[in-house]
Amino acid sequence: MEAEDGLMERKIKVAICGLGFTGKHIARMMLQKDCIECVGAVDKLHGIGRDLGDLLELGKKTGVVVVENSEDVLKNTSPDVWIEATATYIRDIYPRVMNALNHGSNVITLAEEFTDPWLYEPEMADEIDAAAKRNNVTIVGTGFNPGLWMDLWPYFLTGYVSVVKSITIHYMSDLSTYAYSPAVVRNFGVELDPEEFNKKINDGTIKLSIGTRGLANNLANSLGDSIVSIHEGSRPLISKILLDFSPSVIINPGQVYGGSVDVNATTEKGVIINFHKQFCLKPSMEIPDFGDIPKTAAKIEIEGEPNISSTLSIRSPRGFSSTAPRLVNWIPYIVKAKPGLLIDMREFPLIGAIGQ
């Protein structure tokens, strides 16, 4: 598939499963890349029977019709890469992932539990890894997290430190670009009373911290270390003012407008790893200098020799995140990657934008 000059001698055939908010962004990006041929699109809720170009409102046909059956796409198109842009949990996507691997397709997924599959579903992780190696293909989880903010970027920065004592990540995601999609923001408990929010956290209805334990575990493992103790807690962020995103979301004073997650871990070698994650509809109430322009921002602080502090920020008026670009930019790399379930950041390639 790769020519002697390092360029692809043919387009990489890619199929995508999941055409929700992020999946549509992924599909649009794929269709813009010269090195990629989109050969299939699967979804159970969006656009079944429609041309992908119509669903994405591109103003042109693509020749790819959205179908409900992933097996048909795998059999009829034999994609080099299968993008799984659906669920968060390994258990929910396991059958499709295994089917794609057994058809000889590499897999890229945005499922948060792929921060460290062996932590969440060790038996399934073993089976996924074995299937990938047996079929000489690779599977990786990537996107916002895992993929940059709380794993790859902090790990990269430790490469400039001789001794790491602690790693602290402060993360804030402004949900206001999603405020007119109530199904999205209500996943974070907005509009609830604090008591109801805590009840839903305790019974598992609301899960603010999906994948965070895996991020800490994988970060430690990639540094050649291991977690010996970890504590995780969630709490509501309670609005003091009226937040009116009518007709979809209206948050009254005293109601929840977001959530906060804290994960504190200690490694065998004594390194402290802290995550402070927040998601809300008006971050400037929590961080006065955050501003009112929608963005996602993170600050990474490494205590060691030397100390390092770094900030990252993404702004997009259309609500785009780094998830879609990260998945698409992985495509030419995963077809050349080491076979198996890839989570060790020491083995990740340096990935840049493709097809510019």
Task: Give the per-residue pLDDT at 21.
Answer: 83
Cα 191 versus chain centre, distance: 25
| Nearest Cα to Cα of residue 58 among 19, 32, 33, 36 | 32
Q: Which of 3, 16, 5, 4 minimizes the C-alpha distance to 331?
A: 16
Predicted local confidence at residue 39, as pLDDT:
97
Task: Put residue 87 in one of left, alpha, beta given phi > 0 → left and psi -120 to 50 → alpha.
Answer: beta
Q: Does residue 299 contact residue 311 with C-beta atoms inside 8 Å?
A: yes
Dist CA 129 CA 125 (whole Å)? 6
What is residue 294's predicted lDDT score, i.e. its pLDDT?
80
For residues 140 and 245, is the Cβ–Cβ distance under 8 A?
no
Residue with tokens 């509009």: 191
Profile the chain (356 residues) by mean pLDDT over runs of 10 residues: 52 96 92 95 93 94 95 96 94 97 97 92 98 98 84 94 96 82 79 94 82 91 95 93 89 94 96 94 88 86 97 74 88 96 90 81
Rama region for 335: left / alpha / beta (φ>0; ψ in -120 to 50; rest): alpha
- φ and ψ at 49, to 5 degrees? 90, -5
Which burial class, exposed, middle or buried, applies to 343 when counting CB atoms under 10 A from its CB (0-12, 13-18, 19+)?
buried
- pLDDT of amino acid 317: 61
Domains of the chain: residue spans and CATH? 12-144+322-347 (3.40.50.720), 152-315 (3.30.360)
> What values do phi and psi take at 8, rounded to 5?
-70, 130
Give the tokens for residue 254. 């005293």
pTM for the structure as a whole: 0.88
Cα 230 to the chain's mean position, in Å? 22
DSSP three-state, residue 313: strand
Beta strand 272-280 with 163-174: parallel, antiparallel or unpaired? parallel
Return the pLDDT at 318. 60
Nearest to 290 by CA among 258, 332, 253: 258
For residue 177, which of 331, 2, 346, 317 has the smallest C-alpha distance? 317
Helix (H) / strand (E) containing 328: helix 323-334
Q: Which residues contact 109 (CB under 8 A, 6 or more apart)?
A: 83, 84, 85, 93, 97, 139, 140, 141, 142
pLDDT at 296: 87
Q: Which helix (H) or strand (E) holds 107?
A: strand 106-109
- Phi and psi torsions of 266, nearest 5°: -125, 135
Residues 6+ apart with CB under 8 A from 180: 245, 248, 249
